[in-house]
Structure 1
Amino acid sequence: MTGRTSAHQEQHLRSSAMIADVVIGMSDGLTVPFALAAGLSGAVANSSLVVTAGIAEIVAGSIAMGLGGYLAGRTEVDHYESERRREAAEVESVPEREKEEVRAVFAEMGLSPALQQTVADELANDKDKWIDFMMKHELGLDEPDPNRATQSAITIGASYVAGGLVPLAPYFFVAQPHQALLYSCAVTLVCLFVFGYFKAKVTGQPPVSGAIKVALIGAAAAAAAFGVARLFNG
């Protein structure tokens, strides 16, 4: 029973991390290319130009977002490893002080002084578990998945591409950018609303208000881009 519970918990954690990456990539993927396509629709006369610029932006944006996710994941791993090396050095150089820190942790849990001492002495017999204990209970750090950075980069990048193709799709089939923009607005706003709804549910926020908020942000970005393009295009 314990093994099954532990495996279920680990899967839950991985799924939560993946959902967060999908939200990051999809959110920007739906909004940024939508605003770009809307802006270009107010300045060009052919949808092919919107498609070309949109694809270029999706490629560049997915790479940039994926790289950001990778660097964030690597930073988390590097930070953990750095702190673990520091804890290992302190266990070797000042073991009594580290034992005192262990006792302080158990004191906060309500254990008696005698039991605090006993547990600290037992824990000190296995330095790896001792260091693990200090990392989690003194520093509040859990060991990150070493593959997390790569997985995060792929998930965020792919989500950005998937989101970005939604507002761009009508321009593949409609030659007039202004007409394509109408279809793009309808499809993208529906997708933003649905995406915002599920994003709010995952994060524990009111689903309907979260959906409306995401849709309004996307609409405002597209309207601003379209207005600026028309303004500078005369």
Structure 2
Amino acid sequence: MDFEKEEQQHLQQCEDEVEQRGWVSSDVIRDAIIGLSDGLTVPFALTAGLSGTGNPRLIVVAGFAELASGAISMGIGGALGSHAEMQHVSATRKRVLQRAMQMTPRAAQQAIGTVLGPFSVSPRVAKDLAKDLDDDRESLGFFLLKMEEGLDDKASEQERRRVWQSGLVIGLSYLVGGLIPLLPYVFFSTVRHGLACSVLVTALVLLVFGAVKEKLVGGTGGWRGQLASALSTLFVGAIAAGSSCVIVRALEG
């Protein structure tokens, strides 16, 4: 009982520390990376490709139209993906808990032994644990759910928030990322100057974004890993823009 109280106090301290420091969850970081990555490359490729037309108004109108539709579609896609994931998790919880209720004592012992095998737990300890959990099948289900699937016993409020949170973060990130290569065409009257500024600003942002992304995902390569990520992100953006330019010029020809 004392151990459980100490463990709960430790978890509460960790949660308070996270809240005080303002740390962002890994899910939010992942969604932001997805939105920013597509937002930086797709509108940049489109505007760079349309620069061959020499019509700045066409570039701005088409760019904002793509930006709006892309942000909406990306946001809806993120929300639908999170909803499907939540449904899968809920179905997994139900399946594991039902299986635990229908297990024979021998099957429960084998399942617990399989789960604890990688932790070098002796068969005797696994047998004793199976015997204790067999008296409370609900606890057996929660144990298998946590150890086999890595899930809690019931859906948390955080999982329910993920449905709208994911769509909102991805959509807004796409919108912010897409404005970067598009705005130069708004402030410059000629396509040539707008393209030059868009290329320069987008290339710099792609380099910074690649390095920051490597840092946020916990890369262990140090500054070399961040440099490699920055260059690879820039390379992907350049390939996308170059391909778009080639296609537009080929269609014009």
Give the TM interval when normalised to the shorter protein: 0.7 to 0.9
Q: 1:32 aligns with which of 39, 42, 46?
A: 42
Aligned to 2:242: 223
Q: Alpha carbons of 1:124 and 1:76: their partners in 2 closer, same or farther (altered >3 Å)?
A: farther
> Can you give the 5+ residue segments of structure 2 that lack an aligned partner in the other structure?
1-8
Residue 151 of structure 1 corresponds to 165
Q: Does 175-184 or 161-170 show the bigger shift?
A: 175-184
Distance 1:217 1:130 in 2: 49
Instruction: Establish whether residue 185 from structure 1 lines up as the match of residue 195 from structure 2.
Output: no
Query: Does residue 149 of structure 2 align to residue 130 of structure 1?
Result: no
Counterpart amino acid of 1:16? S
Deviations 1:40-70 (A, max 9, x none): 111242x221111111111111122112221
Alpha-carbon distance in 2 for matches of 1:6, 1:106: 28
Measure, in 2, the Cα distance between the counterparts of 1:129 and 1:76.
25
Residues 71 and 111 from structure 1, CA distance in 2 versus in 1: closer, same or farther, beyond 3 angstroms?
A: same
Q: TM-score, normalised by structure 2?
A: 0.82
Q: CA deviation at 1:93?
A: 2.1
Any conservation in 2 of the 1:168–1:184 contact (CA below 8 Å)?
A: yes
Q: In the TM superposition, what are the counterparts of 1:187-206 in structure 2 within 5 Å? A: 187-203=201-217, 204=219, 205=221, 206=225
Q: In the alignment, what sits opposite 2:30?
A: 20
Paired residue type of 1:115? V
User: Equivalent of 1:121, from 131, 134, 137?
Assistant: 131
Number of residue pairs aligned between Structure 1 and Structure 2:
233
- The sequence identity of aligned pairs, in percent, is 36
* Equivalent residue letter for 2:44: F
Deviation at 1:172, TM superposition (A): 1.2
Provide the C-alpha distance between the structure 1 equivalents of 2:63 and 2:142, rounded to a whole number of angstroms: 48
Q: CA RMSD in A?
A: 2.5
* Unaligned 5+ runs, structure 1: none
**Taking structure 1 as the reference length, what is the TM-score of the superposition?**
0.88
Q: Work out the CA distance in 1 between the residues paired with 2:226 and 2:73.
A: 29
Report the more deviating stretch, 223-232 or 15-24. Answer: 223-232
Distance 1:188 1:71 in 2: 30
Query: What is the match of residue 67 of structure 1?
Result: 76
Provide the rounded CA distance (Å) in 2 between the counterparts of 1:68 and 1:129. 36
